[in-house]
């Protein structure tokens, strides 16, 4: 595998230093929020809602009437488009779930081992507020939980969220919806309050407070990955179209000034053209204030010597979304291993996955793609093993277990194994 460093490649545009959102007080603040919610339940939620959201809902749970009116107010075309997204995400999640198969195997005569695929009973989906009301956000967290067969799926969203978000939580299949946002929502789902039930696993992206809260409740509950601001990286050769590359880079840049966007190419011509094209497209982009700032701060373009270096660099970056715009994109793509999701060829824009093509848009950021993929139906099930051992099997496993336990000094373990060898003559068990 190619090891690569920044010394090996040539920067056409460098990021302006590291974009660290360091805030030492964050962790302490979040710790206090979690403690307060644990101790004081709804009373703490009311205080934090007043403080952070500037409003305190009468009831945290969204009532059937509110859901009905959110659905009635939902623009019909928006509803249809969300139903389309839900259907696509469902279809892919169902196919992925089908790849998870129960297992029964006799690994030795009489030693039967296996696993079952068991849905997590209760999950809590956090739906972020943020700069835009991202209509696909509830779809990505809730639909795979429905497909997995979780018994209870709850959704929490900030009290100021657009009612359309409530409607889509419902359409996606959430059983209960709560107007609780931020770190306090994560704390409520992890520990439970009078209004919000405690769940077994909390999923979904959020701001720095939400991420820190997820980190702190991990262990009490399961969590999915900690998703930071969206990222995109492109690997391109001379066959790429700079107008398309610029459009895709700016699409993710529009999320947040912290978004990381970049491109590696073997073609200096494409590098310079894309740089110019980004400036050109920014001129009339309505969200240029954010996208332009993100590009200025974190945008990068690098030149690689050849395809091998492109691939090594892409693996090093381990971006959330990796677009491959080369002459033979399938061949290039097949050699890359670190990415949240891979977009093969010019037509596969990140925007399709972001919205509606069916892959999940909640993906690893900040190089977490080196060790994990993104949110998927498999995150809502447990693969749990079982075993049964008949008399032949006892002959195979008991003696090694007896000896190993004795060596370790674990005499009760030794006896538990030995008693299987002499089930009708317990007195034969040695001290």
Query: Which residues are identified as catalytic?
Result: 320-321
What torsion, rounded to 10 degrees, do the Cα atoms 307, 312, 316, 318 define?
A: 60
Residues between 278 and 307 with contacts to ligand HSO, criterion CB under 6 A: none
Number of Cβ within a 10 Å radius of residue 261: 29
From the CB of 85, what's the least distance to ligand HSO, in Å? 10
Shortest Å, Cβ 130 to Zn ion: 11
Binding to ligand HSO in span 66-105, by CB under 6 A: none
Which has the closest alpha carbon to 132: 188, 196, 83, 205?
205
Three-state SS for 300? strand
Cβ closer to Zn ion: 53 or 354? 354
Binding window for ligand HSO (CB under 6 A); candidates: 122-130, 355-363, 381-389, 398-406: 355-363
Q: Does 212 bind Zn ion (CB under 5 A)?
A: no
DSSP annotation of 405 reads H
Q: Judge whether 362 and 138 are in contact, CB under 8 Å.
A: no
User: Is residue 132 classed as helix, strand or coil in its secondary structure?
Assistant: coil
Here's the x/- map for ligand HSO, 234-253, by CB under 6 A: it reads as: ------------------x-
Q: Shortest Cβ distance from residue 223 to ligand HSO (Å)?
A: 17
For 117, the token pair is: 């695929």
- As measured in angstroms, the least distance from the Cβ of 343 to ligand HSO is 12
Find out whether 417 and 398 touch, Cβ atoms under 8 Å.
yes
Q: Residues 321 to 350: which contact ligand HSO by CB under 6 A?
A: none
201 part of the interface to ligand HSO, by CB under 6 A: no
Q: Which of 93, 155, 154 is nearest to 128 (CA)?
A: 155
- Considering only residues 37, 361, 376, 398, which one is a binding residue for ligand HSO as defined by CB under 6 A? 361
Select the span of 40-48, 124-132, 228-236, 422-430 touching Zn ion (CB under 5 A): 228-236
Q: In this chain, which of 34, 93, 111, 134 binds ligand HSO, going by CB under 6 A?
A: 134
Q: Please give the Cα distance from 223 to 200 (Å, whole number).
A: 9
By the rule CB under 5 A, 354 interacts with Zn ion = yes
Neighbours of 416 (CB within 10 A): 15
**Contact indicator for 267, 304 with CB cutoff of 8 Å:** no
Residues that bind Zn ion (CB under 5 A): 230, 354
Residues that bind ligand HSO (CB under 6 A): 134, 136, 230, 252, 354-355, 361, 363
């Amino acid at each position: 595998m190619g090891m690569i460093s920044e010394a090996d490649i040539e920067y056409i545009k460098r990021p302006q230093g590291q974009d660290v959102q360091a805030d030492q007080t964050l962790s302490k603040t979040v710790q206090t929020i979690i403690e307060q919610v644990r101790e004081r339940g709804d009373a703490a939620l009311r205080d934090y809602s007043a403080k952070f959201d500037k409003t305190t809902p009468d009831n945290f749970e969204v009532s059937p009437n509110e859901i009905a009116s959110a659905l009635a107010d939902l623009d019909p075309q928006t509803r249809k488009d969300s139903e389309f997204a839900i259907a696509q995400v469902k279809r892919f999640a169902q196919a992925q779930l089908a790849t998870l198969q129960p297992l029964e195997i006799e690994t030795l005569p009489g030693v039967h081992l296996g696993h079952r695929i068991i849905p997590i009973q209760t999950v809590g989906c956090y739906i972020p507020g943020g700069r835009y009301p991202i209509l696909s956000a509830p779809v990505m967290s809730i639909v795979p939980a429905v497909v997995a067969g979780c018994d209870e799926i709850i959704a929490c969203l900030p009290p100021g969220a657009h009612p359309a978000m409530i409607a889509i939580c419902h359409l996606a299949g959430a059983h209960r919806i709560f107007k609780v946002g931020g770190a306090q929502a994560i704390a409520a789902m992890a520990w439970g309050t009078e209004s919000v039930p405690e769940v077994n696993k909390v999923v979904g992206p959020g701001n720095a407070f939400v991420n820190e809260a997820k980190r702190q409740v991990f262990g009490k509950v399961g969590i999915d990955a900690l998703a930071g601001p969206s990222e995109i990286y492109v690997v391109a050769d001379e066959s790429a179209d700079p107008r398309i590359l610029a459009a895709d880079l700016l699409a993710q840049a529009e999320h947040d000034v912290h978004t990381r966007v970049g491109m590696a190419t073997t073609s200096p011509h494409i590098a310079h053209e894309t740089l110019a094209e980004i400036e050109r497209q920014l001129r009339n982009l309505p969200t240029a204030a954010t996208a332009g700032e993100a590009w200025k701060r974190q945008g990068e373009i690098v030149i690689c010597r050849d395809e091998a270096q492109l691939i090594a660099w892409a693996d090093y970056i381990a971006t959330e979304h990796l677009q491959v715009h080369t002459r033979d994109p399938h061949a290039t793509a097949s050699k890359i291993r670190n990415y949240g999701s891979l977009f093969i060829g010019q037509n596969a824009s990140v925007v399709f996955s972001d919205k509606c093509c069916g892959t999940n848009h909640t993906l690893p950021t900040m190089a977490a793609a080196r060790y994990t993929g993104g949110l998927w139906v498999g995150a809502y099930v447990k693969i749990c093993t079982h075993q049964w051992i008949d008399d032949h099997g006892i002959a195979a496993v008991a003696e090694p277990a007896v000896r190993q336990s004795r060596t370790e000094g674990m005499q009760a373990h030794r006896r538990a194994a030995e008693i299987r060898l002499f089930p009708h003559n317990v007195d034969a068990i040695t001290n």
